[in-house]
Each structure stands twice: as structure tokens, then as C-alpha cells.
Amino acid sequence: MKNVLRNTVFLTLLLSFNVNAADYVIDTEGVHASIKFKIQHLGYSWLYGRFNRFSGTFSYDEKAPEASKISVTIDTASVDSNHGERDKHLRSDDFLDVKVFPEARFVSTRVEVTPDGRARVYGNLSLKNVTKELVLEVEKVGMGPDPWGGFRVGFEGSTSFRLKDFNIMKELGPLSQEVELILSIEGIRQ
């Protein structure tokens, strides 16, 4: 009897743990998520662009954030810098070569929680024919029930990398070697 009781308590704990580590789908349908990039133009200004089509899921447990996982797939042809001729150029083999590499993917490998409550999400970015480890600096924005019976949590994170590290060889000048990628995502709990 005592054993049964202990097992029940243990099972309940286990179940509640599983409920906490919930799976989320990034709300691309309602477009409460975006993937932007910024790069210096000549060293004189910031140019922003974004990817209009992507999808992803993550799991998140408020009590054990270091167990979180995320994976995001980006449709590279959806690159949009609000300038058709430039977008055409970005999709060409000078940059993203979207015909050959229609998808880019980020898959997390581990999460480190920093003392200030932020997180460092390590993962592999596959872009063109290169897969390389990057670290996303992530901040939680908010979490709670939404007005329509669902439950949501949102994050913003960013990472930087050298274009040439991912075989983007077009020379844009000495101050435009690095691009910053910014992910703003809201997940809906499944």
C-alpha cells in the first residue's frame, strides 16, 4: 500500500513534469513570428531584410529551461528586403542560391541559462551546403494564456555569423562581412 502510494505520487510528479515541458508550434499562421536579418551597408547604415516563410516547433519548460529544444526551417526563396531587384540578386548564386538550397534550418543542440535569466541556445545552422554551430542569445518576452483559450510563450533571439562561413562569397565590403539574424517567435502550446 505504501509502495503504491509512493508510486502514485512519483507518477503524478512525472506526469506534471511532462505537462510542463510542453511542445509549442511557432505561430507563423497568425504571423506572430518573424525572422529578420541586418547587415551594414558600406559601414554607413543598417540594412534590414526578412524571410517571409518559415516554420518551426520548440519545447519549453519554465522550470527547466535548459531542457528546451527548438528547430526552425526557413524557405530561403522568401527572402524580402523590400527591393525586387535586390531580392532577385539575394536569391541568385551570388548569395543564397535558393534553387540549389531551398531550405535553411536551425536545430538546437543544448541550452544554457545565464545568471541574468537569458539563455544561450546552441545549435546547428544549415545554410547552403554548410552546417555550423551558432549560439542564439535568447530572451523570453512573455508567457501566459491567450484570450482564445490557448497558451502562448514568446522569445526573441539573435546571432551573428560571417557570410563567407556559409559560402556566401559575394564581396560587399570590409564592414559588411557579418550578418545578424534576429528571431522573434511566439509559440502556441499544443
Positions that interact with other proteins (CB under 8 A): 77, 82-85, 87-88, 91, 170-173
DSSP state of 62: T
**Shortest spacing between CB 79 and other proteins, in angstroms:** 10
Q: Which is nearer to other proteins, 145 or 173 (CB)?
A: 173
**Shortest spacing between CB 84 and other proteins, in angstroms:** 3
* Among candidate residues 90, 53, 99, the one with its CA nearest the CA of residue 73: 53
Q: How far apart are CA 63 and CA 52, in angstroms?
A: 32
Q: Which is nearer to other proteins, 49 or 154 (CB)?
A: 49
**Shortest spacing between CB 96 and other proteins, in angstroms:** 12
By the 8 A CB rule, do 183 and 136 touch?
yes
Q: Which is nearer to other proteins, 91 or 189 (CB)?
A: 91
Q: Which is nearer to other proteins, 139 or 171 (CB)?
A: 171
Q: Which is nearer to other proteins, 82 or 114 (CB)?
A: 82
**Shortest spacing between CB 16 and other proteins, in angstroms:** 46
**Shortest spacing between CB 171 and other proteins, in angstroms:** 6
Q: Per 3-state DSSP, what percentage of the chain is helix, strand, and coil (rounded to 5)?
A: 20, 50, 30
Q: How far apart are CA 19 and CA 7, in angstroms?
A: 18
* Among candidate residues 69, 71, 87, the one with its CA nearest the CA of residue 79: 87
φ, ψ dihedrals at 171, nearest 5°: -85, 115
**Residue 30 has which C-alpha cell?**
497568425
